Each structure stands twice: as C-alpha cells, then as structure tokens.
Amino acid sequence: MFPETATPTTTFVVAVLIATAAQMLANRFRFPPILLWLLAGMALGPFGLHLMHVESMEGALHTLIELGLAIILFEGGLSMNLKELRANGWVVGRMVIFGPLLTIAIGATTAQMMTGIDWPLALLFGALVSVGGPTVILPIIRQMRLGRNISHVLTAEAMLIDVVGAILAIVFLQVALTPEMSGMLIAEDILLKIVVGFFIGLAGGRLLAMLLSSSWAKDVEIRTILTLSSAWGVFLLSDSISEQAGLLAVLMMGAVLQRMEVHDIQRLKHFKGSLSMLLISVLFVLLAANMNLAVMHEYLYPGLIIFVILACYARPLTVLFSTMGSHLSTNESLYLAGMAPRGVVAAAITSLFVLILQESGNPQSELLMALVYIVIITSILIYSLLARPLKTMLSIDGGDERSVLIIGGGQIGAELGRALGEDREVRFLDLNAEVISSLKRSGYTAICGNALDPLYWEIIHAEEIGAVIVMTGSSDHNLLIARLANENYHTPEIYIALQEDAAEKHASLIHQLQARRLFAKPYNFTYWNDQAYRKRLLYEARTVELASPLIGEKMADVRIPHGVQPITIVRDGKTLIPHDNLKFEAGDEIKLLMRPERTEEGQALILPPSKPKKVE
C-alpha cells in the first residue's frame, strides 16, 4: 500500500483514518472500539500485512505517546466528578492502594514462574498491568447503564489508578535499569513524584482558571489553545523535575480546573474529550501495529494463565479489602470484582518503557511487551463480553438511584422537578438562564444549554438518566430531543409534552420512540409559564377515594378543567410522572398546580370520562 520509505506523516495519517473508521463501525454496532483499533493495528503493521510502517516514526512515536498521555489524563481529571468521588472516596482510596500492590505481587510472581523473566522486569510487568482502563470502562458504563455507585467507583478508580500504576512503573523501570538502587532511594523517588505532581498540578490548575476567567481569554479559540498548551507545559515542567510526575500533575490540574467556577468550561471539556478520543484511537492503532506478533504467539499461553490468575485472585481480593464496611451491596461488590479491563494508558506506558529498555540493550523487553499486551487484549475481550451477562445475573441496575432529567419547561419544569425530587434525583437542562440559576442556588444539578447539542448530554451524564422529561415550548423540538435520548442513550423512560394535534400528527414516531405523553393532555407552554411568572398558581392535593369513578381510568381519558395541571401522582410513597397510559388507583394522591379560582370548595378538579367506556 505504501512504500518501505513511508514518512512519519504518512503513517500517522493512515493511523488516523483507520482509527476513525474503526470508531464509526464500533458506534454503529455498539461494541468497544478498542478491539477494532487493536485488530486493525496488528493486521496492518510490520508484523502483519506490512501496510503501516511505525518504524518510520522513530522518535516521533515516543513524543506522541508522552503528549497523548498528558492530554488523556488531563481530560480524565477535567471530567472527574469530585462530588461523587467524595461520596465513594473510602472505597476508591482503598482500591487505588490495594489494587496495585496485590496486582504487582501476584502478577510479578506469576510472570516470573511462568516465563522466567527477570525479577526487576517481572515487578515492572506487575506495575504496568495494574494501570486501569478508563478508555474501556467508560463505554461499558454508558452501554450497561449501571447504578451510580458502581459507575462512579469504576470511573474514579480507572482515572486514579492510572497515575498510581504509572508512578510505580517508572520506579520499577529505574530498578530494572539500575539494579543497585536502594529501597530508601525508591521510597524517596515515589514521594518526590507525588509531591511534585500534586503541587505543580494544583498551582497550574489555579493559574489556568485565573487566566480563563480574565479578559485576556474571552475568545473560544484562545481558551482552548491556552488550556492545551498549559496542560503540556505543566506536564513538561513536572517531568523535568521528576520523571513521570507529569502524569499526576496533569490529572490534578484537570481536577482543580473543573472544580473552580470557570466560564464555559463545558466547551473546554468537549474539546478536550474530542482530542483525547482522537489521541487514544491513533495511539492504539500505532501501538498495536508495533507489536511483534511472533513473540506474542510464543508467550500466548503463559500470558493467558497470568490474566486468569489476576482476574480470579488479584481483582477479587482488591475488591474484598476495599469494600468491607462500605455502603455497597454484595452484588455491587461482586460486579466490581468482575470488571477490571486495561486500556490505552497501560499500552502507551508499556510501549514507552519498552523503547527505553531496548535502547539500554535489555534482551527481555519484547517479552515484557508481549505479556502486557496479551493481558490488555484478553481483559478487553473478556470484560466487554462479561459486562452484560454479569449485570443480569447479579440484578445490577440503577433502580431508584437513576436520575430524572427535565429538559425545558421553564418555571413549570422547575416545579415538576421539585415535586419529583422528594424521592428521586432530578437534573435540569434548559435555555432559561434565570430558572437554571435559581435551581443551582437550591442545590440541583442544572445546566444552561441547548438540548439538541450532544455536548450538554455529556456534561449532565446522560448515561445515568433513567427518565427524560422533554417539555420545551415546541412539540417538534421535543420530539427531536426525545429521539436523541432514545437513539444515543437508550433512556428507559421518555415523556414528551405535546401541544394540540401533535400527538395525532406524530403518532408513529411517538410509538417508535416508545415515549409517553406527559400530562396526558395538550400542554400550553406559554400559558402555564406566564401564570407561573405572574405568581398566579397554587398547589392543591386531592386523594382518589375508594368509591371514586376515576379508579381504573387512564389519564388520557379523564377530563381536566382549564387552569388545572396535574404535576405528580404519589402512590405507595413513590412519586409517579403523570402520562397518558397511567391508570388511577384508590389512594393515589394527585398533586395539582392551578389557578386560585379553581380551589373553590367542592369544585371537581379531575372528572371521569364524559362517555361510558365501551365494553370489549
């Protein structure tokens, strides 16, 4: 395909094209793209069909790996939910400590016994396979729709363990290169990397936040360039003081930046997420193309045995020690024990270190690379295939913990959210800045943005949402947003507010989306928000009595007078969302929003159907 003298530019562009095509196929058929990246790289590399010439990149690959790792970890810190990390901090902290220690001990011992690899390289192997895989686990979390506890523990662990594993790996690399290094020097080196990475990352994050909030960085282009260059600058500065301290520094910098009030940080997150995805995909293709398939085939059997021992002993023991006394259920702990894929950070660090070992003349460098890649590839295959059956077997789901997302609605959307918030977590996405500010002051997760922009779905973590309520002022927009929720995030429950005639006009689309009609009746967005703005609305609650003619009737069939709006229905202590197919039961408490004149004593607020039901 390309001549033997292919340039680094040619190789890089081919890798980008292959990575993009693989990403599109993976999205279309809904499986982790990392598998295609690896297979494509191995098939087209110098040890496969020889259509890609990674050797032409020489030192450029080393540079690309380092800069790519910096952006990947910075984006990870920027996306880290510190609130949830605090909630699960004790579990995550123990997993980040016990995980690498157990993996290094068990992995190194097994690798040395199975292959005879030197002990310094065996310890380095253990450190490398302790590095997690956020690039693999995050797509699994999105597709599986796991509960918040599992999702946030797995995400935080994957982000933090990358840094811990990388720091331990660089220490063992130095041991392999200089065997005479004493234990005291090793401890001092680890402490230095942590201190340098923490404080430079902290200072860099605060300084960048100040610059982004200043008048010097108003333009979006300047802000993105400033953020990118700052991340690389902090990485380089930390690495110049203590090698590989830059990994912790950029993660810390991203975490600090996302915690501070920075204008339009969502756009920065989106840009960094896109850049991170590009770098991840290209790195995987290039690294896979650089693998020696003959060596991998030679050590395939011991590599698989090592993976089985790590999966059956190291991971379960890590979870056992980490979750004892925690709020996680037994099934949640078992799921954590069965989910530990490795990803691009482990692969990239391995390739980087192998290049260093080869330069030093170490004869076992290719053996090390083969073992690590066998564990990475096997973990991706096994855990990707195991994720759904294990979830079903352990009855893992988000349950009542899954959030409700209310899109649009203005003041009425806020009132609906407050009513639902009595027993469910509610999040808001609206273009009304005044309403969003008010909700934020009340402690809600609220984002001001356009729901047709996928960026805001990422920001609000749409993969965790169990129900979406779409109630903007346009029926057409509501249907478009509902389609986005259905097709991109497979939201289990979708409720759409529709105006007059919209239900009949779009009946087939509503059926296709398996959506429900919010409030069961035509919803006049302008009227209700105008009444709310003028403070002309009152709350009223009515209970469905045992002898009520409403029992067994669908909301779509009952008559609701003008100026009365059912907001929620409380049944057996649970708050339900009113929709067209909801049937009334005895004891239901209907919460109503209405004009004051409708509260006159004895006035019926919900009436049974005017015509008798047909006998089927």
- State whether 40 and 131 are in the same domain: yes
Q: CA neighbours within 13 Å on the CB side: how many for 582?
A: 24
How would you class 574 by CB atoms within 10 Å of its CB: exposed for 0-12, middle for 13-18, buried for 19 or more?
exposed
The DSSP bridge pattern shows strands 589-594 and 538-543 to be antiparallel
DSSP states along 33-67? HHHHHHHHHHHHSTTTT----GGGGTHHHHHHHHH
613 within domain boundaries: no
pLDDT tens digit string along 212-242? 888 777 777 788 888 889 999 999 999 999 8
Residue by residue, DSSP assigns 272-337 as HHHHHHHHHHHHHHHHHHTS-HHHHHHTHHHHHHHHHHIIIIIHHHHHHHHHTTSS--HHHHHHHH
In a shared domain, residues 385 and 255: yes
Dihedral angle sign, alpha carbons of residues 396, 397, 399, 401? positive
pLDDT number for residue 205: 92
Return the pLDDT at 615: 41
pLDDT value at 612 more than 50: no
409 and 369 inside one domain = no
Q: Is the predicted pLDDT of residue 387 greater than 70, yes or no?
A: yes
Give the span between the Cα atoms of 122 and 475, in whole angstroms.
Answer: 62
Q: Averaged over 361-388, what is the pLDDT?
A: 89
| Residue in the structure block whose two tokens are 């923490």 | 198
Say whether both 324 and 438 belong to one domain: no
pLDDT at res. 616:
44
d(CA 424, CA 456): 21
| Contact yes or no for 133/451 (Cβ under 8 A) | no
SS3 481: helix
Residue 155: predicted pLDDT: 81
Looking at the fold, whether 350 and 413 belong to one and the same domain comes out as: no
Question: What tokens were used for 67?
Answer: 């800069």
Same domain, 442 and 382: no
Is the distance from CB of 450 to CB of 460 less than 8 angstroms? no
- Evaluate whether residue 1 is within a structural domain: no
Q: Which amino acid is at 195?
A: V
Residue 605 lies in a domain: no
pLDDT digits (tens, 9 = 90+) for 436-448: 988 988 888 898 8
Residue 490 is predicted with a pLDDT of: 80
Assess whether 435 and 381 both reside in one domain: no
Return the SS3 of 429: strand
Exposed e or buried b per residue across 302-340, where buried means at least 16 C-beta atoms within 10 angstroms of its C-beta: bbebbbebbbeebbbbbbeebbeeeebbebbbbbbbbbb
Q: What is the mean pLDDT of residues 127-133?
A: 85
Handedness of CA 164, 170, 174, 177 (dihedral sign): positive
Distance in angstroms (rounded) separating the CA atoms of residues 468 and 426: 10
**pLDDT tens-place string over residues 281-336:** 888 888 888 777 888 889 999 999 999 999 999 999 999 999 888 888 899 899 99
Is residue 610 in a domain? no
587 and 494 housed in the same domain: yes
pLDDT value at 509 more than 60: yes
**Crossing angle for the helix pair 220-241 and 265-289, to the nearest 10 degrees:** 50
What is the DSSP code string of 535-557? T--EEEEEE--TT-TTBT-BTTT
> Domain holding 325: CATH number?
1.20.1530.20
How many angstroms separate the most distant Cα atoms in the chain?
A: 93
Question: Domain boundary at 393, 418, 448, which?
Answer: 393
Match 């159907």 to its residue by tokens. Answer: 609
Of 252, 123, 108, 102, residue with least CA distance to 177 = 123
Lowest pLDDT segment from 39-48, 315-324, 536-545, 559-568: 39-48
Range of the domain at 17: 8-393
Distance from C-alpha of 548 to C-alpha of 570, rounded to nearest angstrom? 16
The answer to whether residue 612 is domain-embedded is no
167 within 8 A of 196, measured Cβ to Cβ: no
Under DSSP, is residue 521 helix (H, G, I), strand (E, B) or coil? coil
Say yes or no: 433 and 350 in one domain: no
379 and 307 Cβ atoms separated by less than 8 Å = yes
The Cα 310–Cα 342 span in angstroms is 12
92, 85 Cβ separation under 8 angstroms: yes
In angstroms, the CA 21 to CA 33 distance is: 10
3 within some domain? no
Instruction: For residue 194, give the amino acid letter.
Output: I
Whether residue 613 has pLDDT greater than 50: no
pLDDT, average across residues 74-94? 74
* Residue ending a domain, choose from 335, 369, 393: 393
Provide the sign of the torsion angle of the four alpha carbons 17, 19, 20, 21, taken in this order: positive
Query: Quick one: 211 and 230 in the same domain?
Result: yes
The residue among 547, 545, 584, 586 whose CA lies nearest residue 566 is 584
Using 50, 70 and 90 to split pLDDT, how confident is the model at 399?
A: very low
410 and 384, same structural domain? no
Does residue 611 belong to any structural domain of this protein? no
In a domain, 609, yes or no: no
Tokens of 158: 């994957």
Mean pLDDT across the chain: 83
Mean pLDDT in residue range 576-601:
84
Predicted local confidence at residue 83, as pLDDT: 63
Tally of structural domains, the chain: 2
Query: What is the end-to-end Cα distance of the chain in Å, rounded?
Result: 70
Using one digit for the tens of pLDDT, what is the confidence trace for 413-471?
999 998 888 778 899 999 988 899 889 888 888 988 889 887 788 778 787 788 999 99
For residue 467, the domain's CATH number is 3.40.50.720
Residue 140 CA to residue 155 CA, distance in Å, equals 11
Query: Judging by DSSP bridges, how do beta strands 426-430 and 465-471 pair with one another?
Result: unpaired
Domain boundary among 393, 415, 437: 393
- Residue 566 CA to residue 549 CA, distance in Å, equals 17
Give the residue with greater pLDDT, 492 vs 609: 492
Residue 484 shares a structural domain with residue 524: yes
Residue 104's pLDDT band (cuts 50, 70, 90): very high
Residue 417 CA to residue 574 CA, distance in Å, equals 14
